[in-house]
Structure 1
Amino acid sequence: MNKIAIILAILLFLPSISLAKDKMEIKYSFSQPVLKKIMCNNILYDEVYLEKSSTYGNSGEPALPAYPSYILLPQGKYVKKINAFAGEKISLGKGYNLMPVEKSIPLGSEKIFPFKNFNLNVYPGKIFTEIGTYSFRGYNILVLAIHPVQYIPSSGEIFYYKEITIEVELCEGKVNPLFRGVEKDKKEVVKKVDNPEVLNTYKTNDLSQSYELLIITNKKLESNFNELKEYKESRGIKTIVEKIEDIGYDADKLRDYIRNAYINYGIEYVLLGGDIDIIPAKMLWVYGLDENVDPYETFMPTDLYYACLDGTFNYDKDDKWGEPTDGENGKDVDLIAEVYVGRACVNSLQEAKNFVEKTIEYDKTKIDEIYLNEICLAGEYLGDYGIASYGGNYLEQLIGECNDDGYSTKGIPLSYNITKLYDGEDGYWNKEDILNVINRGTHMIHHLGHSSTNYNMRLMPEDVEGLENNKYCLIYSQGCYAGAFDYDDCMAEYLTKSENGAFACIMNARYGFFWSYRTDGDSQRYHREFVDAIFGEKIFSIGKANQDSKEDNLYLINRSMMRWCYYQLNLFGDPSINLHVNSPPEKPQKPAGSNKGRIKNEYSFSTFAIDAEGDAIYYKWNWGDGNVSDWIGPFIANETVNATHSWEKRGIYIVKVIAKDEYGGISEWSEPASISIPIFRENIFLKILEAIFKLMNLL
């Protein structure tokens, strides 16, 4: 979440925070949950929604909202014990039949599973779940899922707590060795936690030398990536290129090297310049629960291992790296990234040349290029699962503000030209449709459908080789195995190493997962948060946006297949590249000015709007009396501007303002201000005196 979103969340939920030497408290306040009816399999269920919360629980259990808690611990302090104290308990009534948590199903499956029976007295029967303590660049963060809403299946009663206080008892420990204490780290952690005031307990340092991007490749491909280095440095991004031969073809040695570069050089991004045969990948073991089938488990290649640099990923020293107890002292493995990692899955000089040229060409694209406004959503038929039968129903959640499934994301603005390729009852789209989309020039493609290592978006490798586009795209797909780069080749590799196609892809190393009868699928969670990172949180770096989508879902890591998806979503592309998103200005500040006035007198109101790219801003004022100004400007972004208006009639008028950047991106309307214009009755006595004085002057 970005800083402004955090501030709003703090104001909304009113957490009260106190810090003592040996303990800290955070108080969370909750609004009343909203109840809705939903029909599923001809059964009428109830659903519970709580603002800024998400569905939590195992498949078949009552679907209840959980609230995310990210608590920054003081420097050198660790968790000794966690206590929770519930405030006023409020019943919402009895007789409710809660919708169960849906099944997590591989995208290739067409099997339908029945719901479980509820078998506990109270769900979830506890106030919080401890997810774990994780570290971001030496800042220790306790992650909890808070359960303000409870359910009694026997009576159907739902109740909630208006307030919950989390008390964390602290103990002394060592300062995290990955703590750098630089200003840019401090700015990032503010966006991640509920209690940023604890930052005052962390010391600050300066690095003697600082780089932003580390590229690791081999001797054969070094010249290609040196070209990328030269380009990056011409854009002000200080870059190092290192050879795997000097480090050693070993995932653990490579992780140690990246950790040292992070500490000593201040790197933020890592580009792995080679396929798995050139740059090794760590194979992590992952396990997930599905409904009425054997649990899924597998080993998968994940570059998350090189991004999350704290501690070990194999505490018990068995052959299964990445178990939830494989972190330091048998705790969870590190899941918050110190650096942001992408991979160029290339083997030859020509493939490396293609990748580098596409990366540079995209980065050089001017923001006013027409094709940057083109986005495609491609959804396929998934099986007979009610609302979840068609991928298009999921992809619609990527557009605009979406509050579906109990959480909020901000997606693709309606100002974009969105092409929708959706399977439906009226027919299916075919590969010629998606080939036309790519060849004519499309900025982003979001896909949900069946895939494999050599099949994605209804394309095969030979189709990719025949692409003719010279305007390159980003592709995000929820399909199975399209990003399995431990196989000979996968579709993500074909799309990024070919002469045309994509400059970057984000794809799954193994199965993608959706939910039957509901759109709150595990893969969908990450997809929505990725789009929200770009358009909601204004995170334009692809690598950072991909990781943000994971960390926003960290409090759900133990839900169904969430860990599976957390591990497998790899970036095939340069993580430091910024998306050319003509992001609209943020909503202007509420107009500031008089709240009372007189007829025909002019009154001034002021506002300002933040624009992430620093574009010039225009404003349009609605004065509430039928008068709306033309676009006024341009003005410098973030600069306070003034406008004046007079009203002709008595009344209370609503004043609001909207902003537009120089490329046409339009904000939301501001919060309204009001001004009251009463009619002042004329004083007859004063009128008589005025007439007498005029008469005397004539005499």
Structure 2
Amino acid sequence: MEKRTKFIYKKWQAIFLGIFLIITFFSTISNADIINVEEKLQLSYYFESPNIESIDIAGNSYDRVTLPDCLPAGEIGEPMIPSKGIYILLPPETEDLNIKIIQKEKQDLGPGFFIEPMGKPIPISAVKNNFLPEPDENIYSSDELYPGNSYTKIGVYNFRGYQILVLLLHPMQYIPLTGELFYYKNIEVEIDLINGKEINDLYRGFSRDRAEVIKKVDNPQISFEYKENSKATMDEYELLILTTDSFKDGFTPLKTIHDESGTPTIIKTLTDVGSSELEDIRNYIKDAYTNWGIDYVLIGGDEDIFPAPILWVYGLDEETWPYEDFMPSDIYYACLDGPYNFDGDGKWGEPTDGEGGGDVDLFADVYVGRACVSDLTEVNNFVTKTVTYLSRDPEDEYLSNACFVGEYLGDHGIASWGGNYLDQIIDGSSDDGYTTVGINATDYNIDKLYDRDYEGNYWPPSEIINRIENGVHFINHLGHSSYDYNMRLINYDVDLLSNSDLCFIYSQGCMAGGFDEGDCIAEHFTVKTTSGAFAGIWNARYGFFWSESTDGDSQRFQREFWDAIFGENLPELGKANHDSKEDNIPIIGRSMIRWCFYQTNLFGDPSINILEPGGNTAPESPNTPNGPTNGLPYISYTFETSTTDPDGDELLYKWDWGDGEISNWMGPYESDEIVEQKHKWSEKGNYEIKVKAKDELGAETDWSEPLIVKISFSRYHTRQYSNFRLFNILHVFFHQFF
């Protein structure tokens, strides 16, 4: 008996040793593959014929050249040559090793062109006209190609764990000395990849994350190489309200209405964080993002109560170049990947402050807004206004009213009038080489309050007051501002407003959103009373435009914001605000783009959907799930459902599997599309499967009628299940130790 025992022991010892050697062998091969095996990505881009027109700037003749969906990215005084920003999704666990650009179908446009130089960004508060664009003589007297290189690598950024490579292609080349100009109709991009990079800690595997990244990149099919995780716990939330202990109860009515309307919300305080340090707050948001599945964060507190990251940025003021400034920016709480002060100095947000000395993270993992409240009265004011807007009848007539407020900016040619910029937001525009969808004049009552068109070229403060009091949904503004002055109103004027039809304001004015400098006028609009605005976007420091051009840096963010709302179907304020930033990442190094990227803070609840005139009809309740009604534990079964959205909106689905697990919102799917989802149970019992749907605007259905599924064992299946469990135990054992 003892000999047999020893024999069995030695036999098992030999088996384990053999398995160990096999695993070690294949692990060695695998490691070699990680070092040596390369993959390749290939993408193609086509460029239409450029548009070239002769222009006159202060008596100087230039040629202005534009390419569809391309944008100028140079420095001040350099030729304004259009380039194309591209967003390439890298496969999981890879990094780019080499980038190759293949240019095809060269098109010569001839010599003799004198290309317009890049202009100087002008603070919107500037009154002097000494900002005419001037050619850089060192470049314009050169016989070398400009920009010369075929592409510029902007960086690799992470969005919810998906790696996005951002490049700037240069399809057009220019020889300044001779004026020769040519471009390539086709450009192929080849990227050699190397394996071995770990999946980012921020990767959650949610289908809704995949649905979002698909909208951001040029090669969405790669997203399906990232493994999806459809499971979620019962502690899933979409909105985190982060405030102080004394304000917590004041935000409860806002949590209640969000919970009732299908946006699960949780309120936490700095006590829960355990600190008021910036990094600790950001890490807490990361944990909530990872463990609760949040998409939105509402910060409940002014800068002196709930700290705001103060980022450093390099730029230009009215008189001096270079110029630098510090500004409050909540993007630090939104973009969660890597550090924002890599070198440990006092300048957070430098372009070398990201991981390994690279750029800081610029893609938002969560969408952030701030209620700049200083006491319970202001909390109640903010919550009352937000709840009021969320409760509005979509049929209210005032929701169709949109006001455009433009001022005289100085003697700057076409840029002299704010109205010339704002006109690009009405019905959209393809001016300045890029296309954005705007506010449709067919759906909205467009009201222009422009100095350009007003008698005497100056409208008085009473004009904007009357419009707010009479009810206006959107206000778009471009004009002079300061910390306590905006749209020709001062703080006192705003506090006297009594409108019950609340508005949203987007202003390019300077410093009106500088909430670190006392109570700025944006705070008076949003938290000081129960009137005024329910939300808005204002600049923390200078807003910027360009002399002799409507291609202003601040203008790009305002145009892209409304394009997100109406063109990209991103009606949530937080998403739209950050989308306007991400659309400008390819030119983040241009003049004041980074400045504007940092400073355009959202004052308001980031999860709010802009209400559409005439309302939005909720989808019909989904059909009872269809699938097997009997099954075994640990075996995956497929179930399907569908529903119809009366407005034809895309739909998201959430599954309740009856065992305590509820899926994330899955999708998007087309209306009437049959949707499949798999699930397996670990215990015997009867389970009720239910499903609900919501459209892209947030209108949600009730749960469907349930399908009852019986999970049970038979004697045979019990033995089979025991063997299955033994196999799993051995599998885990070998995985852990070998």
Give the structure-2-normalised TM-score.
0.76
Contact 2:397 2:613 in 1 (8 A): no
Query: What are the residue-to-residue correspondences of 1:414-433 with 2, within 5 Å?
Result: 414-415=441-442, 416-424=444-452, 426-433=456-463
Pick closer, same or farther for the CA change 1:290–1:66 going to 2, 3 Å: farther
Say which SS state the counterpart of residue 505 (structure 1) adopts.
strand
Match of 1:376 among 373, 395, 403: 403
Aligned residue in 1 for 2:28? none
Distance in 2, Cα, partners of 1:184 & 1:489: 38
CA shift, 1:301, in A, is 0.5
CA shift, 1:639, in A, is 7.8
Paired letter, 1:145: L
Q: Tell me the alpha carbon deviations over residues 271-297 of structure 1, each in whole angstroms, 9 at most, x when there is no partner.
A: 001111221111111112579832121
Paired letter, 2:131: F
Say which SS state the counterpart of residue 485 (structure 2) adopts.
coil
Pick closer, same or farther for the CA change 1:580–1:613 going to 2, 3 Å: farther
Q: Tell me the alpha carbon deviations over residues 549-597 of structure 1, each in whole angstroms, 9 at most, x when there is no partner.
A: 1111111101000000000000000000100023999xxxxxxxxxxxx
Distance in 2, Cα, partners of 1:292 & 1:483: 22
Query: What are the residue-to-residue correspondences of 1:96-111 with 2, within 5 Å?
Result: 96-111=113-128
Distance in 2, Cα, partners of 1:401 & 1:345: 32
CA shift, 1:92, in A, is 0.9
Aligned residue in 2 for 1:536? 567
Match of 1:294 among 321, 326, 333: 321
Number of residues paired by the alignment?
577
CA shift, 1:173, in A, is 1.0
Paired letter, 2:221: E
Q: Tell me the alpha carbon deviations over residues 450-486 of structure 1, each in whole angstroms, 9 at most, x when there is no partner.
A: 1111000111111011001001000000011100011
Aligned residue in 2 for 1:194? 218
Distance in 1, Cα, partners of 2:318 & 2:390: 44
Distance in 1, Cα, partners of 2:492 & 2:646: 48
Aligned residue in 1 for 2:254? 228
Q: Tell me the alpha carbon deviations over residues 182-234 of structure 1, each in whole angstroms, 9 at most, x when there is no partner.
A: 11101000000000111122111123242100001111111111111111111
Say which SS state the counterpart of residue 87 (structure 2) adopts.
strand
Matching of residue 245 in structure 1 with residue 271 in structure 2: yes
Distance in 1, Cα, partners of 2:422 & 2:224: 42
Contact 1:583 1:612 in 2 (8 A): no
Paired letter, 1:516: S
Q: Tell me the alpha carbon deviations over residues 404-435 of structure 1, each in whole angstroms, 9 at most, x when there is no partner.
A: 11111110101211111111374211110010
Aligned residue in 2 for 1:476? 506
Structure 1 portions without partners, runs of 5+: 1-19, 586-607, 615-636, 641-699
CA shift, 1:319, in A, is 0.9
Paired letter, 1:113: F
Matching of residue 310 in structure 1 with residue 341 in structure 2: no
Matching of residue 519 in structure 1 with residue 550 in structure 2: yes
Match of 1:135 among 152, 158, 183: 158
Pick closer, same or farther for the CA change 1:160–1:292 going to 2, 3 Å: farther
Say which SS state the counterpart of residue 257 (structure 1) adopts.
helix
Distance in 1, Cα, partners of 2:646 & 2:115: 43
Contact 2:367 2:575 in 1 (8 A): yes
Distance in 2, Cα, partners of 1:216 & 1:152: 55
Match of 1:182 among 206, 213, 234: 206
Contact 1:282 1:305 in 2 (8 A): yes
Aligned residue in 1 for 2:487? 457
Matching of residue 125 in structure 1 with residue 148 in structure 2: yes
Q: Tell me the alpha carbon deviations over residues 487-528 of structure 1, each in whole angstroms, 9 at most, x when there is no partner.
A: 111011110002210000100111100000000000000000
Paired letter, 1:540: P
Pick closer, same or farther for the CA change 1:348–1:291 going to 2, 3 Å: closer
Aligned residue in 2 for 1:443? 473
Aligned residue in 1 for 2:92? 75
Contact 1:216 1:271 in 2 (8 A): yes
Aligned residue in 2 for 1:345? 372
Distance in 2, Cα, partners of 1:187 & 1:533: 15
Aligned residue in 2 for 1:565? 596
Paired letter, 1:502: A
Pick closer, same or farther for the CA change 1:526–1:282 going to 2, 3 Å: same
CA shift, 1:398, in A, is 0.5
Say which SS state the counterpart of residue 423 (structure 2) adopts.
helix
Distance in 2, Cα, partners of 1:460 & 1:31: 48
Aligned residue in 2 for 1:684? none
CA shift, 1:129, in A, is 0.9
Paired letter, 1:293: T
CA shift, 1:367, in A, is 1.3
Say which SS state the counterpart of residue 284 (structure 2) adopts.
helix
Paired letter, 1:101: M
Give the structure-1-normalised TM-score.
0.80
Q: Tell me the alpha carbon deviations over residues 657-676 of structure 1, each in whole angstroms, 9 at most, x when there is no partner.
A: xxxxxxxxxxxxxxxxxxxx
Distance in 2, Cα, partners of 1:46 & 1:250: 52
Matching of residue 211 in structure 1 with residue 237 in structure 2: yes
Contact 2:436 2:567 in 1 (8 A): yes
Say which SS state the counterpart of residue 409 (structure 1) adopts.
coil
Contact 2:396 2:613 in 1 (8 A): no
Identity value in percent: 51
Paired letter, 1:116: P
Say which SS state the counterpart of residue 542 (structure 2) adopts.
coil
Say which SS state the counterpart of residue 280 (structure 2) adopts.
helix
Say which SS state the counterpart of residue 207 (structure 1) adopts.
coil
Paired letter, 2:452: G
Paired letter, 2:341: N
Contact 2:394 2:615 in 1 (8 A): no
CA shift, 1:43, in A, is 2.2
Which is further off, 220-229 or 517-526?
A: 220-229
Paired letter, 1:558: G
Match of 1:329 among 356, 360, 378: 356
Q: Tell me the alpha carbon deviations over residues 135-164 of structure 1, each in whole angstroms, 9 at most, x when there is no partner.
A: 100000000111101111111111001221
Aligned residue in 1 for 2:728? none
Contact 1:308 1:338 in 2 (8 A): yes
Say which SS state the counterpart of residue 327 (structure 2) adopts.
strand
CA shift, 1:245, in A, is 2.3
Structure 2 portions without partners, runs of 5+: 1-36, 617-644, 652-669, 674-738
Matching of residue 88 in structure 1 with residue 105 in structure 2: yes
Distance in 2, Cα, partners of 1:117 & 1:257: 48
Say which SS state the counterpart of residue 480 (structure 1) adopts.
coil
Distance in 2, Cα, partners of 1:184 & 1:613: 13
Aligned residue in 1 for 2:583? 552
Matching of residue 579 in structure 1 with residue 610 in structure 2: yes
Paired letter, 1:258: I
Match of 2:79 among 50, 62, 68: 62
Match of 1:47 among 57, 64, 69: 64
Contact 1:103 1:291 in 2 (8 A): no
Say which SS state the counterpart of residue 305 (structure 2) adopts.
coil
Distance in 1, Cα, partners of 2:516 & 2:501: 28
Contact 2:526 2:534 in 1 (8 A): yes
Contact 1:535 1:583 in 2 (8 A): no
Aligned residue in 1 for 2:464? 434
Aligned residue in 1 for 2:628? none
Paired letter, 1:306: Y
Contact 1:104 1:291 in 2 (8 A): no
Say which SS state the counterpart of residue 421 (structure 2) adopts.
helix
Distance in 1, Cα, partners of 2:421 & 2:211: 33
Distance in 1, Cα, partners of 2:495 & 2:96: 54
Paired letter, 2:447: T
Say which SS state the counterpart of residue 163 (structure 1) adopts.
strand
Paired letter, 2:277: D
CA RMSD across the alignment: 2.0
Which is further off, 291-300 or 391-400?
A: 291-300
Distance in 1, Cα, partners of 2:578 & 2:375: 28
Q: Tell me the alpha carbon deviations over residues 622-651 of structure 1, each in whole angstroms, 9 at most, x when there is no partner.
A: xxxxxxxxxxxxxxx9689xxxxxxxxxxx
Paired letter, 2:85: P
Matching of residue 148 in structure 1 with residue 176 in structure 2: no
